[in-house]
Amino acid sequence: MWPAQGNKSAKGGGSTAQNLRTLGMTSAITLAGPKPSDYLRTNELHEALKPYNVFESDKELNHRMEILSKLNSLVKQWIRDTSVARNMPPNVAEQVGGKIYTFGSYRLGVHHRGADIDALCVVPRHIHRSDYFTSFFELLKQQAEVSDLRAVEEAFVPVIKMKFDSIEIDMLFARLALKEIPDTMDLKDDMLLKNLDQKCVRSLNGCRVTDEILRLVPNIDNFRLALRAIKLWAKKHGIYSNVLGYLGGVSWAMLVARTCQLYPNAVPATLVHKFFLVFSQWKWPQPVLLKQPDNVNLSFPVWDPRINVSDRYHLMPIITPAYPQQNSTFNVSASTRTIMQQEFKSGLAITDEIMNGTATWDKLFEPPNFFGKYRHYIVLLTSSLTPEDQLEWCGLVESKIRHLIGTLERNPHITLAHVNPEVFSPLEPATDRQCSMWFIGLIFAKSENLKVDLTYDIKSFADSVERQAEQIHMLKEGMWIEAKPVKRKELHTYISPSLVKRERKASASTTITHINGRSSGNGGGTVSPSGGTDISSRKRRSDNMDQYGKKPKVHDPEHQITQAEDGSLVVVQSCGEDSNSGFSLDEYKDNTTAAKDERPTTGAAVVQEGFVCT
């Protein structure tokens, strides 16, 4: 029961108030203990999470441990055989060791049922990365339990991906400058990084950060349940994706860990509530830090805006606690930050109700209606001939979508570009090819007689993806990418009508005029204008709502998509009398940082925040 865990420390034993005060950059906000109602809400939270398969059974957990034990034995066998092949005496080769470490959600203890395992293979100095991607890769091929084996040697962090007895595993490699790797080795020592190359340091970073997070929270059990809830909430609300510019698993873990430091005696239900309280009011780009950065002089680059100019443009910095410190959220853009800030405020309003007993936890995990929020969307379609090709192709396209978002944000007439992380399949799949779709919701700035040409931006994105695919020799016959502007009324032709809820009809409707024609990019990157009429969207939560979720009525301009004489796609705006988009340029201005850039435009001055693609 949760009441029995109220005084556990990070080590599992007792903890004094003084020890709790010292966790983090500042002292705790409060050391108050939980009330009986807090225990009740925590037990309700635990029960509410069960239907979402966030907990594994003991049998499933033991299966994972068996797999890791087999992998660890394989690593030791491989290192021993490779050492003997290099004329090392067998009795010495038996002692050089080698070990598998885990990190990520599995190491944190918050992995869900069926989740993958992030692992790290640590070897002594006479074993090289080339050995890992040749002889060890061949050894894995020979294992009956291994399937879907593939190596990504040239990645930023080189990795071997596989399924081992039906469990997906991403396995990194790190070579330490040591003669032996004992089973008891702790990777915490910063001096282990001395004389290592950048790829090994990056590979070690995952384990070092994960372990440091666990050392910096006052109660691991409370941290874990709160983090499970926040991760589920983030996934349900479409803001869990580092590659698309939202936050990834380690970033959410650090935010929850910081909340635990500020409320060290709180139980999970209270921590979830305080999480939304803290980060709905956080003054970004003020960084989130779990500890004072280590002053280690090993010449590796660290996040430091005083020295690195590019670091000053990071919009939502969350800094990893292990050396070399890095910003885990450098992909965040102005739009994705605005969307997450709105979700923080919405989460606070809901958890206020939950803690008061007027709502249940299920309300927190209800997904918002993305397809009812906006008048205009861009749909990205990717296609290839085989499932294997589509897996590679989608991975590349997804890694580039944030650059398209950045391009759209730099357009002074676009207020918000909201990408949905979910990948959709077509309503009627083709029998001869694979197809996947992403959707981006758009809000345009209010201006009179405004024309916005999106053709070049979309075509440039498609061309850049194809160029990248050619450079890395991925582009194959049948691979193509297409981007189309779509009105909300037309979404039913791409996704299930059940996803597009009927919205309240506005007093002023928006019309799209389609002039026959088509603008095409080279090599499969095409843009097609669409026609039809639109209905007004549901009001969405905006940045100026108070903690109870209330906001003033906001008007948005009407839009008209048409095709210019030269065949380019343009969005024409005129000021309408009514709109239910629920988001205005003024609201967006409130969220811009000091890094914004004001640029005059035809008919209006529009604020555009600086965007840095790293």
What single-letter DSSP state applies at residue 105?
A: H
Average pLDDT over residues 294-318: 93
373 is catalytic: no
pLDDT in tens, 320-370: 999 999 999 999 999 999 999 999 999 999 999 999 999 999 999 999 999
Residue 508 has pLDDT above 50, yes or no: no
Q: What does the pLDDT read at residue 611?
A: 25
The answer on whether 543 is annotated among ligand-binding residues is: no
Q: Which of 83, 101, 106, 118 is catalytic?
A: 118
The answer on whether 379 is annotated among ligand-binding residues is: no
Q: What does the pLDDT read at residue 567?
A: 36
537 is catalytic: no
Residue 98: CB partners within 8 Å, gap ≥ 6?
Answer: 75, 76, 78, 79, 121, 122, 123, 124, 127, 181
Q: Report the alpha-carbon distance of residue 288 to residue 271 in Å, rounded.
A: 17
Q: Which of 39, 106, 132, 240 is catalytic?
A: 240
The answer on whether 118 is annotated among ligand-binding residues is: yes
Residue boundaries of the structural domains of the chain: 2-21+32-54+218-363, 58-211, 373-609
The answer on whether 472 is annotated among ligand-binding residues is: no
Which position has the higher pLDDT, 208 or 603?
208
Q: What does the pLDDT read at residue 22?
A: 63
The answer on whether 170 is annotated among ligand-binding residues is: yes
Residue 161 has pLDDT above 70, yes or no: yes
Q: Report the alpha-carbon distance of residue 140 to residue 165 in Å, rounded.
A: 12
**HSE-CB of 248 using CA atoms within 13 angstroms:** 15
pLDDT in tens, 511-563: 322 222 323 333 333 333 333 333 233 333 333 444 334 443 333 333 443 33
CATH no. for 2-21+32-54+218-363: 1.10.1410.10
The candidate with the shortest Cα–Cα distance to 321, out of 206, 224, 220, is: 206
Which residue shows structure tokens 């903690």?
A: 547
Q: What does the pLDDT read at residue 607?
A: 28
Q: Which of 15, 83, 105, 251 is catalytic?
A: 105
Q: 79 falls in which pLDDT band (50, 70, 90)?
A: very high
Contact status, residue 266 vs residue 38, Cβ threshold 8 Å: yes
> Residue 533: which H helix or E strand, with range?
strand 532-534
Which residue shows structure tokens 């001096």?
A: 191
Q: Which of 231, 235, 400, 484 is catalytic?
A: 231
pLDDT in tens, 29-51: 999 999 999 999 999 999 999 99
Contact status, residue 305 vs residue 311, Cβ threshold 8 Å: yes
CA distance readout (Å), 236 to 241, 365, 420, 422: 12, 6, 11, 10
Q: Report the alpha-carbon distance of residue 56 to residue 113 in Å, rounded.
A: 5
The answer on whether 501 is annotated among ligand-binding residues is: no
> What is the identity of the amino acid at 580?
N
105 is catalytic: yes
Q: Which two tokens stand for residue 227?
A: 């983090």
CATH no. for 373-609: 3.30.70.590
Q: What does the pLDDT read at residue 216?
A: 97
The answer on whether 249 is annotated among ligand-binding residues is: yes
Q: What are phi and psi of 257, to 5 degrees?
A: -60, -40
Same fold, 2-21+32-54+218-363 and 373-609: no
| CATH architecture of residue range(s) 58-211 | 2-Layer Sandwich (3.30)
Q: 25 falls in which pLDDT band (50, 70, 90)?
A: confident
Q: What are phi and psi of 41, to 5 degrees?
A: -65, -35
Q: Report the alpha-carbon distance of residue 193 to residue 214 in Å, rounded.
A: 21
Q: What does the pLDDT read at residue 512?
A: 28
Q: What does the pLDDT read at residue 519?
A: 32
Q: What does the pLDDT read at residue 97?
A: 94
Phi-psi region of 523 (alpha: psi -120 to 50; beta: other; left: phi over 0): left
The answer on whether 534 is annotated among ligand-binding residues is: no
The answer on whether 240 is annotated among ligand-binding residues is: yes
The answer on whether 551 is annotated among ligand-binding residues is: no
Average pLDDT over residues 243-259: 97
132 is catalytic: no
534 is catalytic: no
Q: What does the pLDDT read at residue 92?
A: 94
pLDDT in tens, 51-61: 999 999 999 99
Average pLDDT over residues 190-216: 96
Full DSSP string of 486-503: EEGGGGGGTS-GGGS---
Residue 350: CB partners within 8 Å, gap ≥ 6?
Answer: 359, 363, 364, 549
Q: Report the alpha-carbon distance of residue 258 to residue 276 in Å, rounded.
A: 12
The share of the chain scoring above pLDDT 70, in percent, equals 78
Q: What does the pLDDT read at residue 98?
A: 95
The answer on whether 70 is annotated among ligand-binding residues is: no
Contact status, residue 331 vs residue 245, Cβ threshold 8 Å: yes
Residue 261 has pLDDT above 60, yes or no: yes
How far is C-alpha 611 from the chain's CA centre? 18
Residue 245 has pLDDT above 70, yes or no: yes
Find the angle CA(300)-CA(301)-CA(303) to the nearest 5 degrees: 135
* Mean pLDDT, the chain, whole residue set: 81
Dihedral sign (CA 24, 30, 34, 39): negative
pLDDT in tens, 167-189: 999 999 999 999 999 999 999 99
Q: Which of 81, 116, 165, 453 is catalytic?
A: 116
Q: Report the alpha-carbon distance of residue 241 to residue 247 in Å, rounded.
A: 5
Q: What would you measure as the largest C-alpha separation in the chain, in angstroms?
A: 85
Residue 19 has pLDDT above 50, yes or no: no
The candidate with the shortest Cα–Cα distance to 225, out of 64, 323, 361, 337, is: 361
**HSE-CB of 382 using CA atoms within 13 angstroms:** 26
Q: Which residues pair with 609 in a beta bridge?
A: 596
Q: Which of 131, 170, 311, 457 is catalytic?
A: 170
81 is catalytic: no
